Amino acid sequence: MSSLIQVKDLYKVYDHGLIQSLNGITLTLESGKIYALMGASGCGKSTLLNIIGTLDSPTGGKIYYEGKQIKELGKLSVFRRRFLGFVFQFHHLVPVLTLRENIEAALLPNHDISAEERTERAMALLDEMGILHRANAYAGEISGGERQRGAIARALANRPKVLLADEPTGNIDSKTSKLILGKFRNHIEKTSGTILIATHDTDVADIADVWIKMEDGKIVSIESRQHREKK
């Protein structure tokens, strides 16, 4: 197993130091594993996810992506679409685009994907998620579960090495939730990537290979599946 992401002594403060969101996080994410990031609301899970996903910048500390620091990655927009995939708690689909277009939108800036390939890939992902029949529907015309599946399809469209999911099953039923978790596992098997899921849901955490518990901006424990099972 190789390390895809290494986080070293990461700090994040808001409001000129009044709020300390992350307080010296050190973490390694290896390929082929699903990580569950757990902790109470406000403990810094989403902030850590955003910083790893280059959506936010840290106040201090370093992150290495396959051994490279952020300043060595070139254009962040290119890096994001080639290396990272995001699933947010609320689907966040673009409302004026259809489901298919939303997925194609993630592929659109890529120079090396033709229009046919883009459509094919979008349709295949929709099929995989069981929402192919909704391909031409807008976000406002489909159910919450279908929207979230659409959002996951969009996140997987570029076959990212790292998938970051913030409460991905927070607003959906248990059946859809299981389907989504199954897709996450399939993705890991296909790509040997890594998935970091911020969650409160123990069902979600159960599929993880590693549990990371956070409190007040700090990691308090990191447990592997084997370690948990021994317990």
Partner 1 sequence: MVTQKQKCRTERDFTMLTIIFRYAFRNIVRTPLRSFFTLLSVSLIVMLYTVLTSIGDSFTHQVSSVIEQQDIDIVVQSKYASTPVTSVIDHKMVEKMSHFEGIRSYDALLIGRKRLNGKSTVFILGVSDFSVFAQRLGFNIVKGRALGKMPREIVIGEKMARIHHLNVGDKVALNSGISYDIVGIYSSWLNFINAGVISHLKNAQTLMHKAGKTSVLFLTLKDTTKTIDMVKKINQQFPEMRAIESQQLPDYLGPIKNIFYFSKIVSVLTLLIAMAVLLNTFIMAMSERTREIGILGAIGWPRFMIVSIFLVESLMLSLGGGIAGYLCSYPVMSFILNKFANISMYIPEAPGFDILLNVVFMTAFIGIFSAFFPALYGTRLNIAKAVRHE
Confirm or reject binding of residue 97 to partner 1 (CB under 8 A): yes
Strands 33-38 and 194-198: parallel
209, 210, 166, 167: which is closest to 55 by C-alpha?
Answer: 166
Confirm or reject binding of residue 115 to partner 1 (CB under 8 A): yes
Q: Which is nearer to partner 1, 71 or 111 (CB)?
A: 111
Instruction: Retrieve residue 182's tokens.
Output: 């199954």
Task: List the one residue from 1, 78, 136, 186 that touches partner 1 (CB under 8 A).
Answer: 78
- In 82-204, DSSP assigns E strands to 84-87, 162-166, 194-198
CB 152 within 8 A of CB 129: yes
Strands 194-198 and 162-166: parallel
103, 148, 109, 146: which is closest to 125 by C-alpha?
Answer: 103
CB of 106 to partner 1, least distance (A): 5
Task: List the one residue from 1, 9, 77, 144 that touches partner 1 (CB under 8 A).
Answer: 77
Q: In angstroms, how far apart are the furthest CA atoms of the chain?
A: 51
CB of 172 to partner 1, least distance (A): 18
Residues 6+ apart with CB under 8 A from 8: 26, 61, 62, 63, 64
Stretch that binds partner 1, among 120-128, 151-159, 167-175, 203-211 (CB under 8 A): 151-159
CB 183 within 8 A of CB 148: no
Task: List the one residue from 16, 111, 175, 231 that touches partner 1 (CB under 8 A).
Answer: 111
Task: List the one residue from 108, 174, 185, 224 that touches partner 1 (CB under 8 A).
Answer: 108
Task: List the one residue from 16, 71, 75, 175 that touches partner 1 (CB under 8 A).
Answer: 75
CB of 167 to partner 1, least distance (A): 13
Confirm or reject binding of residue 96 to partner 1 (CB under 8 A): yes
Footprint of partner 1 (CB under 8 A): 47, 50, 53, 55-56, 75, 77-78, 80-82, 84, 86, 88, 92, 94-97, 101, 104-106, 108-115, 118, 154-155, 158
